[in-house]
Each structure stands twice: as C-alpha cells, then as structure tokens.
Amino acid sequence: MRKESFIVDTNDGGKRLDQTLAKRISGLSRRQARVLVDIGGVFVDGTRVKVASRPLRPGQRIEVHVGGAFERATKAVGQSARTRDAAALPSFRIVHEDDDVIVVDKPPGLLTAPTPESDRNNLADMLTRRAGLRILVVHRIDLHTSGLLVFAKTRIANQVLSEQFRRHDVERAYLAVVGGVFPADIRSLAAPIRGRHALTHFEIERVLGTATILRCRLETGRTHQIRIHCRDLGHPVLGDQLYGQKAPATGPHPPRLALHAAELGFKHPRRSERLHFNSPWPPDLAGWLAHLASDGPA
C-alpha cells in the first residue's frame, strides 16, 4: 500500500479535495481521486473524509492511502458503485453464532477488518450490516489467508476474548504448504519478529515430493508470524509473494497463499465452556493439493 501525506498550502486554500489530490498525488487523476475519497482512503487532519467537494484550508494535513482496495474498486462513485464492489466479494460461512460471539470461516480475498484505505467491504463491516449492530474485531488473518476467526457482539465479550488472546489462552493452528522437505527434527521456532517474542510449533502432516504440509500452532500471534518463521527456516509458504517463492520448483502452482486457519479454540466469554472449531482445506487449495499429491510420494 502506498501512503502519502502533504500540508495544504496557500495556493490550494479554498480548492476542492479531489482537485488538490489530483494535483499533489503522482499518478492520481481527478476521477480516481473521487473514487479514493469515496472508498475512504483519504484523511483530513486525522479524520476520514468522504466528500470530494470539501474545500480545503491552508495548513490542513492530508493523508492518502492507495492500495488493493482502490485497485479492486469500481472506478465510479456513489452507492451503486460500492454496491457493485460488495457484490464482487467472496461469500463467507458462519460456523457458530450466539448472543456474544460469531465464528466465521473466511474465504481468501476478503479483508478481516477496516484498513486506513477503506472502511467498507470487509468481513467486520459485512457482519455489522448483517446483524444490525456493531461487530467487534478480536483478531485478524491476512487478505489471502482463509480460515477461522472469532468476532465479538458485545464490548464485554470483546474484552474477555481479547484478554484470552493477550494471555495466549487460545488454540490456533494453521495448515501451511511449504517448499521442500521440512526437517522432521524441527518441532518449534522461537525467533523474534520486529523485536517481539514469537513462538511457532510445527507438525509434519505429509510430504508431497517438492513440498510439505505442516500444521503450525501459534503460541504467540505476531503479524505474518508463520510466513516469516517458515521463510527463516528455509521453507517458505508456497504462493507467498512477500516472504517466499511464488510456486514450487516443479508441479502445479498454488492458486494463492497456501495458508489456512484450520483450528480455533477459546473459552466462551460468558459461559465456562471451551469452544473448539475445525475447518478443512477450502476447495481452491484442496484441488491444488490433489494435483500436487499426484506428482509426488505420499
């Protein structure tokens, strides 16, 4: 994502926001500026602004976020354009819902929560509109990662669940397909990420010739933890365009990042019971794995 900021000078005082954005942000036309404002990617003095015609004053700070949401957005403004954007999103599956929590199996290609670029068309936003009340984000998984997430329906539930995540009192396991034959003697890796303690446990599920299916259990929850730890061990997650190789040396290419949040367990925020959920490989990765298995030994 590209982030830029500038201070409105006297020459731009009184001019429209979209007009000034087109002038000050390289590669952004006035029409594109209106779309970026419409999806929520522009802040004026720290507040998200969605009115392209808003006049500016000298000294105001403008912050602009341009990334994937802008690239995917219908290049028009207004409710109908944003409705078309929403219709193009992949569908999600609700695994469990009660008065306190919602557990969702998220597809790849759907953001978990609002970002600085856009506050719409993410899973939290879709759940909020569906429920008619604000759904609170407890934790996140990446755009291209699929799998299980829990959201809170009340502030108390959010506080209790967030504390469980803080204490690492949750069960989280991801299925990952990594390049090469993963060493059987590596069971854990404790290596800091951005200066913070991070611990991942590994179990080999299956070796498929040029790749290995791992079950990765998180003891901590740093951003991109599994992807970084697998890369550091010399076995990057296949399809990882940020930390690893895009495809195995031989065999079919993965359709996307080969990472899936397969297990999630936590204590119910109001009742004493522990809840545990499982999600199998989604169809896109299951089909790819079937082809990969046919090319390598079990």
Q: Which residues are catalytic?
A: 142
Is 165 strand, coil or helix?
Answer: helix
63 in Cβ contact with 7 (< 8 Å): no
294 in Cβ contact with 158 (< 8 Å): no
Q: How many CB atoms lie within 10 A of CB 179?
A: 22
Q: Which amino acid is at 145?
A: T
Look up residue 260 and give its two tokens.
């899936």
Q: Cα dihedral sign for 25, 68, 216, 171?
A: positive
Let me know the angle formed at the C-alpha of 37 by 31 and 41, rounded to the nearest 5 degrees: 125
H/E element holding 128? helix 123-131
Contacts 24+ apart (CB under 8 A), 92-99: 92/123, 92/126, 95/148, 95/277, 95/279, 96/275, 96/277, 99/153, 99/154, 99/270
52 in Cβ contact with 18 (< 8 Å): yes
Q: Which amino acid is at 211?
A: A
